[in-house]
Structure 1
Amino acid sequence: MNKLVYISAILLFSTLFSACTNDSEDVSKPVINLIEPEDGHALKIGAAVHFEMELSDDTELRSYKVDIHNNFDGHNHTKAVSETVDFTYSKSWDVSGLKNTLVHHHEIVIPENATPGNYHLMVYCTDKAGNETYVARKIVLSYDAVEHEE
C-alpha cells in the first residue's frame, strides 16, 4: 500500500510541476534597434531631437520609454553662477498590439537653458509579458551642434 501511495504522489507532483511549465510562455526580450541619435552624437540645445528606432518582439510589444539624464562628473573650475539647468527627460509611449514598429518623432525638445555637456540617453522597451530590454547611448548637449533637418 505504501508503494502505491508513493507512486501516486510522484505521479501527482510530476503532473503538477509539468503543468506549471508552459513551453509557449514568452521569455524573450523585445529588440531595440536605435537608429538616431547615435552614440556620441551632439544634440543642439534649443532644438528638437531627431529620434528614430525599430522595435520588435516575438509575441507582442507593450511600451517604450525614453530617459535622458546628465552624465556630469561633478567637478567644475568656474566660479560664475550658471543660468542653465541640468536637462532631464522621461516619457513612455504605448505600442500595445504591435509585434514590430518603426518609431520616428521629434517630440523631445532640449530647452534653451539646458546645461551643455555629457548626458545619457536610455531607451527601455517592455513586451506584453513584462520582459524588458534597454539601450544606452552617450550624447552631448551643445550650442554648436548641427540641428537635424528631417
Structure 2
Amino acid sequence: MKTKFYIPMICLLAVCSFTFLSCDSDDDSNDTTKPLIDLLEPEEGQELKIGAETGVHFEMDLSDDVMLKSYKIEIHNNFDHHSHSRAVGETVAFSFNKTYDLTGQKTAHVHHHDIIIPANATPGDYHLMVYCTDAAGNETYVARNIVLSLTADDDHDHDHEE
C-alpha cells in the first residue's frame, strides 16, 4: 500500500523540479524585439571620395531592450549595367564587409573611419547596408544608397570625440 503512495509523489516531485529548473529569469529566448539602428553618417545619396587619405566618416547609435551582440557593415555595387561608357584605366568594383563585436552592451555609439575606398575603385552607385544583431539573434538592418566619386568633397567637419 505504501508503494502506491510513493510512485505518485515521486512523479509529482519530478514534474515540479523540472518546472522550477526550466524557469530561468536570465533566459533571453523570449526576446523578440529587434535592435534599433540610427545611422547618422553616411547619409542617403551621399557622395564618398575615391582614394581619400582618410576613411569614410561612419557614425551611428545602436540600442536593444536586452543586449546587443554585433553589427556588420556591407558595401557592394549597385551598377545598372546599362551604361555604354568605360572608365579610363583599370578599376574594380569596391566592396566592404566587416563585423564588429558589441557583446555586453545594451547601447553603443559607433564612430570610426575604417572604410577606406581605394584609388582604383569604380565610380558609381553602391549600397551601404548596416546589420545589427542582438544577443537573442534578432536582426535588423538599414540600407543606404551612396555614390563613389572621384570629385566628391573630402571634407568632414565633425568632432572626433568618442
TM-score above 0.5:
yes
Which 5+ residue runs of structure 1 have no aligned equivalent?
1-11
Partner AA of 1:27 in structure 2 = T
TM-score (ref. length: structure 2) = 0.76
- 1:71-150 matched pairs, under 5 angstroms: 71-78=78-85, 82-149=89-156, 150=158
CA RMSD of aligned residues (A): 2.2
1:36 equivalent in alignment to 2:45:
no
Taking every aligned residue pair, what percent have the same amino acid on both sides? Answer: 62
User: SS state of the match for residue 53, structure 1?
Assistant: strand
For 1:80 and 1:118, the matched residues in 2 are separated by: 14
TM-score (ref. length: structure 1) = 0.82
For 1:79 and 1:33, the matched residues in 2 are separated by: 37
Q: Structure 1, residues 25-74: CA drift from partner, whole Å, max 9, x if none? A: 11000000000000000000012100000000000000000000000011
User: SS state of the match for residue 148, structure 1?
Assistant: coil
Question: Cα 1:148–1:79, aligned 2, differ >3 Å: closer, same or farther?
Answer: closer
Instruction: Give how far 1:82 is off.
Output: 4.5
Which 5+ residue runs of structure 2 have no aligned equivalent?
1-14
For 1:80 and 1:45, the matched residues in 2 are separated by: 13
4+ residue runs of structure 1 moved beyond 4 angstroms? 79-82
- 1:14-93 matched pairs, under 5 angstroms: 25-47=30-52, 48-78=55-85, 82-93=89-100
Partner AA of 1:76 in structure 2 = S
Instruction: Give how far 1:133 is off.
Output: 0.1
